[in-house]
Amino acid sequence: MQRALKLGKNVFYEHKNGKRAIKMILHYIFLGIISIMAMLLLCIIINKNETITRKLKFYFTSAIIGTIMVTLCEIGTYFFEKPHTNLWIQSLLCDVIGFSVSPFIPIFIAFAICNLEFSKYKAWFLPPIISMFFTMLSPFYGLIFSVSTENIYTRGPLFSIFILAYLWGICVLIQETVKLTKRYQTKSGFVLYLLLFFILFGTTIQIIFPMVHTTWICIALSVTIYYAYFCELSEKFDAQTYLLNRRAYNCAVERMEESSQASVLIFDIDDFKMVNDTYGHPYGDYCLITVAGCIKDIFQEIGLCFRIGGDEFCVITKTADEAMLEEAKNKFLKKIEKCREKDAKIPNVSVGHGIYKKGLCKVDEVIQKADDQLYEFKNRSKNIFVKNI
């Protein structure tokens, strides 16, 4: 009687555990399907975005397709990887695709958000290609992984090659993320670092606990967040000079009203139309980029740098120190002069500034003062030029 009761309990618990396992599998499968649907929707949004070049669309789409493939393979793994079943070929196929594609995804994300040229950085794909090569051989030699005819998965002796290739992709993404935060004057760069930590954390969990499948959902969320961040940068920054654009400038001017003190510096390239007419628009673009680079090098430590018009730039700082502003202006003018020593065709740049103190003046008055000082500077420069002639 006791033996029968014990047997009955075992059957009951096995039945209960079986139900729980089925629920868990269904949970993962439907979560994966929802993730795939979200990725497909994101892919449509990206390809309908008329402000993104074909090259960037290709990079983003490649990352999304890779993520969808990995997610499908993870779903297949849940469904097919049942020990002592005849589904080992399906399990093997899912593992081959998943291990082959995963290391490429972070690199495609890096290419997309940083607008990289494939011809210059194609060597970055070498480690993932090597990993893919060994993965393709794994069904025959069990190098990266193996799946027995009893459908039991085990890691192979060269599994570390896959790990290194994947970490290589993450390192490329980290490197380009750091460059991105330096190139753009963004205070939300820490968000990208948190995002990288999120990817590493999810990947590490799956490496330590192979049965916990977290990598795919981390990558899916990361692609979405990276695209959102890319769109934010596109809205705030000038694509040509990497300075903040007019829209960001208008927001910064509004915020000045709330500050206790601030200063505004306005820059204008002298005779820029003549430069375009004489040397052509490509050289004019080169001059814009050169001047923007000089402004950023000198002023980004003390304020935000903007391109507010064709050949007009602005810096807004939180300081009201006249001496500091004059020192920074002199450093900038010397830097421009050094550029002109290398290339005499680069035009002069006029600059003026105004200081805002809450309660003593209005922001509009400060901007007007900076503008007036700029034209005084421009007229003085022209007079000096005429006298020298």
CB 275 within 8 A of CB 347: yes
Which tens digits make up the pLDDT trace of 307-334?
A: 998 899 999 998 888 889 999 999 999 9
First to last CA, the chain: 118
Q: Where do we find the tokens 């059957």?
A: 11
Q: What is the pLDDT of residue 7?
A: 39
Give all domains of the chain, ordered by start, each with its CATH number.
2-236 (1.20.1070), 246-388 (3.30.70.270)
Among 36-45, 158-167, 194-203, where is mean pLDDT lowest? 194-203
Which tens digits make up the pLDDT trace of 155-197?
A: 999 999 999 999 999 899 888 888 887 777 666 667 777 777 7
Q: How far apart are CA 306 and CA 340, in angstroms?
A: 22
Angle (CA) 152 167 144, round 5°: 25
- Highest-scoring range by mean pLDDT, 9-18, 202-211, 282-291: 282-291
pLDDT at 213 over 70: no
Confidence of residue 15 (pLDDT cuts 50, 70, 90): very low
* Choice between 223 and 381, residue whose per-residue pLDDT is larger: 223
pLDDT at 90 over 70: yes
- Give the orientation angle of helix 215-236 with respect to helix 2-48, to 10 degrees: 20
- pLDDT > 70 fraction of the chain, expressed in percent and rounded: 88
Instruction: With CA atoms as reference, report the closest residue to 87 among 159, 153, 157.
Output: 153
CB 197 within 8 A of CB 173: no
